[in-house]
Amino acid sequence: MVSGQMPGIPEMPETPSIPDVAKLMEQVRQQQQEVVRIQRGVEAMEITGGSRHDDVQITVRGNGQFTSVAIDPDALRQYDADELGKIVVEAANDALRRLAEATSARFRPLIEAASRAEDF
């Protein structure tokens, strides 16, 4: 029998540690601030995408708004309207793909930190 234990009363298992709620709330608040900071940075970005042969260059902001389209004058003479339209779409899709990649890269450290925190 352990000293101080009453005869006939089973020993109580150790209580698992309870997370400090205030500390968790502070971590959540800091993460929210970091998300806002990253989001503002993403919105301020301008990314340029282009067609395969750089006949068309399109710039898009982090909020998804297209800000400019530059078409090589030679492309205007070389392609008909349908072909040029496809080239513009190609450049726009490239700009959006690059924006998505840049956005993911900005958020990656925060996502990785959150994943590590879940493992504890």
46-100 per-position pLDDT tens digit: 999 999 999 999 999 999 999 999 999 999 999 999 999 999 999 999 999 999 9
Superfamily in which the 22-118 domain is placed by CATH: Nucleoid-associated protein YbaB-like domain (3.30.1310.10)
- Check residue 53 and report its DSSP letter: T
d(CA 110, CA 34): 8
48 - beta bridge partners? 59
| Three-state DSSP class for residue 25 | helix
Residue 1 in this model has a pLDDT that exceeds 60 = no
